[in-house]
Amino acid sequence: MPDVTLVQAINLALGRAMAEDPNVILLGEDIGADGGVFRATDALLARFGAERVLDTPLAEGAIAGVSIGLAAQGFRPVAEIQFMGFAYTCLDQMLNHAARLRTRTQGRLSCPMVLRTPCGGGIHAPEHHSESGEACFTNVPGLRVVIPSSPARAYGLLLAAIRDPDPVLFLEPARLYRTPRETVEDDGAALPLDRCFTLREGADITLVGWGGVVTEMMAAAEALAGEGKQAEVIDVATLTPLDAETILASVAKTGRCVVCHEAPMTGGFGAEIAARLAGPGLLSLLAPVERVAGYDTILPLPRLEDAHRPSVARIVAAAKRALSHG
């Protein structure tokens, strides 16, 4: 198959899931005839019909609520929220209903739904369109939070999310939608949820992150290699439940860690990873855990957006600080 972009991989996964399971339906704003704001659902209306590709009113909380009802009745809805800044109105439905449905009904019902939304900066969009609010949802027990960082991982993880019996928030880095490209076989093979992906082996320092910032992490690892330091790069991919074991094993080998994310530093999910390392990983650490994140400000759009996001230079500088200890 020709190389595809991340948004094309999303489209392939949605088409594959719908072809395999008639209970998979799509709903969201402008996803039908228009194919979605980023064209993630392009041509799926023509292929599967208006009963399975549903345009909705501009009401994100209602989209989430209807999806929960559909999931409780045996469907597998995949709902699209146009931008993550609009997903906060879904938090009530996801926290109080989707994530609790299995326990509330003592296992009689489950909630196999996926809430998809683009996230992160880099596209210089207006306010609310470049949010990285994953931490608001990682504190919800019973809800998976998944963020791919490549076309192949987007394809495999989305299929796994759709097939999962419980709710998944599936965040798609908008900056990566159309670059880079990667060969993706449309074979229906899912990738495992709840697992980190080690993208590069190294013995000197561990770089941990997810979503769009993985691109900068890989570039930082290349820069460090040019100075004789080998960085291990870990794509967390599923934030909750967190695969802490992979991160702890890496830091046991390297002794140093830099955690990277686009969300603001304070209360960001990187703090959870740092806390895990400060517990069972404490004796492995040869230096304090470094965090490279967005600043604790409202995203300064559009001109300072690139300065707000973690850069290769900031990641390299943090790695050098960690490497300077011991």
State yes or no: is 124 an active-site residue: no
Q: Which one of 97, 128, 129, 308 is the catalytic residue?
A: 129
- This prediction's pTM: 0.97
* pLDDT score for 98: 98
State pLDDT tens for residues 85-111: 999 999 999 999 999 999 999 999 999
- Tell the burial category of 199 from Cβ atoms under 10 Å away from its Cβ (0-12, 13-18, 19+): middle
Secondary structure element (H or E) that encloses residue 207, with its range: strand 205-209
β-bridge partners, 260:
292
Superfamily of domain 3-183: Thiamin diphosphate (ThDP)-binding fold, Pyr/PP domains (3.40.50.970)
Q: Using CA atoms, how far apart are residues 72 and 110, in angstroms rounded to an integer?
A: 6
* pLDDT score for 1: 63
State pLDDT tens for residues 268-323: 999 999 999 999 999 999 999 999 999 999 888 778 888 899 999 999 999 999 99
Residues of the chain with pLDDT under 70: 1
Q: Using CA atoms, how far apart are residues 241 and 143, in angstroms rounded to an integer?
A: 8
* pLDDT score for 133: 94
Q: Which two tokens stand for residue 283?
A: 């004796």
Return the domain boundaries, the chain: 3-183, 197-323
- Specify the CATH number of the domain 197-323: 3.40.50.920
3-183 and 197-323 agree in CATH topology? yes
> In terms of DSSP bridges, do strands 3-4 and 182-183 run parallel, antiparallel, or are they unpaired?
antiparallel
